[in-house]
Structure 1
């Protein structure tokens, strides 16, 4: 926007170009901060919708588009076009991140405008705030801010939120007993039942303890991970006898360890808006804490996110 003869002059091509660049960077920053898979073509299409909307806002005959409801509607459409649909939960997370980055970048550019020039550099036209005689330096400032937000946001996400996003609600059923926990989807978990070759869930003993028989609890508390070879003898004649498994595993400082396990009747995994059910899954009992900050209490084999699980005998 410029000034000519005291009246504002709007260059629609500049409005389109500037908003296309800024909307594209905002959508790209959202994808980077939330670590979303994205398509450059879809992001460009979403940014183009936003840019065309910005052009429509400055046309006198289309002033009704500046209402709050229409602005929200166009932002929803932009996100729907830019990112593939996965779930309502993720969609709302993307929407929140989109607004947060937009407000931060827009506020920073406006702040620079106040610092570099006077308040007259910011004007309101057709209900929309605009910058008069918009210099390229301010656009570069906005771009720099978006890149900085993306880098910082992606780093913070990796440190603090990645574990939570890749953890899912888990329910384990033993006859009438139901054990609920949060499970981290562990791509490094390659543990399988040596008999069925099915993937194993590792769960903290503290979570399972209230649901286990007293005989098993006594042995586990006394053994503390050692001398478990005779565990089957302790449970002989009980309904738990056929559930017991001994799982060979390797860890740092322990090349030939044995992890006690129990065969669960059902395991339910909640993935987005879907509940995946698996039968006869072995639950490895870990006598310690898997997460010091208690964000999760189990380690889930990534194959258990799928409806069908690959075993040594085919598909279960």
Structure 2
């Protein structure tokens, strides 16, 4: 029986194309800048490795440890520089996309061949796998951004003031670097309307009936919650030196899904506008607070 011929040039081209789009899709999903020269170099190296694996007397090259090592090298070449945490995520996505593409290539013949013929490899199915990976890279990024990321970056938050408890949905804000000047603790930001009904009447009146920022400050310092009052300095576009009105909570509890964790005497900055257009969250949680959940 004549053995099937394997052409090294076709092997190189097909593996180069697949490695390139898998690396591209991986970079897209983890929101890294795509550097096409690096992707090309990594894909070419992966294609060379695939060609080397064709030689039967070099079986050690095709072993599992070598394959894993090569995939790590390809990712480092294509995506460097990246942190260790980002690299772990990239490696996970790389294998998920690779296995999914392989599954798409194997499943396509059975989906479209109603006659039940024995599977025979065709480069058309390889093209199907390539289209699948491109779809993951394009549509998958939008799905992660609009559905998956929000679901894992949002937390239920409960704030206690004496015997009053207010609950809301918070979103992890890695850009939130606000700190309480007195304690140097991180500051959460909440929509004023979320806390409005839990505030003392004189405090609400001071905030809502004052005509300018100075009047607000003068009035809230005379309210019954003056002992909770904090002034949080901040900088933003168009306003170099701003002050955010804050109140100290007796206790703040965050639910991460696995467990709850409580903080005492953290400050909540009051934001008079909406934090999200669709109302999906009403608080911004600094990353420092979430890190304690993940480390616990």
TM range (shorter): 0.5 to 0.7
**Cross-structure match for 1:229:** 217
Work out whether residues 101 and 132 of structure 2, in 8 Å CA contact, stay in contact via their aligned partners in 1.
Answer: no
How far residue 285 of structure 1 moved from its aligned partner, in angstroms, is 0.7
Kindly tell me the number of residue pairs found equivalent between the two proteins.
228
How far residue 293 of structure 1 moved from its aligned partner, in angstroms, is 0.8
After TM superposition, the score normalised by the length of structure 1 is: 0.58
Unpaired runs of 5+ residues, structure 1, are 5-20, 46-83, 85-93, 125-130, 309-316
Distance 1:301 1:29, change over 3 A: same
Work out whether residues 157 and 253 of structure 2, in 8 Å CA contact, stay in contact via their aligned partners in 1.
Answer: yes
After TM superposition, the score normalised by the length of structure 2 is: 0.61
**Cross-structure match for 1:287:** 272
Work out whether residues 189 and 300 of structure 1, in 8 Å CA contact, stay in contact via their aligned partners in 2.
Answer: yes
Work out whether residues 248 and 268 of structure 2, in 8 Å CA contact, stay in contact via their aligned partners in 1.
Answer: yes
Q: Given the alignment, which residue of 273, 277, 289 partners 2:262?
A: 277
The separation in 2 between residues aligned to 1:150 and 1:229, in whole angstroms, is: 50
Pick the structure with more helix per residue: 2
Work out whether residues 276 and 306 of structure 1, in 8 Å CA contact, stay in contact via their aligned partners in 2.
Answer: no
**Cross-structure match for 1:180:** 167
The separation in 2 between residues aligned to 1:123 and 1:263, in whole angstroms, is: 71
Q: How is 1:70-219 mapped onto 2 (pairs within 5 angstroms)?
A: 105=104, 109-110=108-109, 114=112, 119-120=114-115, 122-123=116-117, 131-132=119-120, 134-219=121-206
Distance 1:29 1:257, change over 3 A: closer
- What SS class does the counterpart of residue 292 from structure 2 fall into? coil
Distance 1:224 1:281, change over 3 A: farther
Distance 1:207 1:156, change over 3 A: same
Distance 1:148 1:208, change over 3 A: same
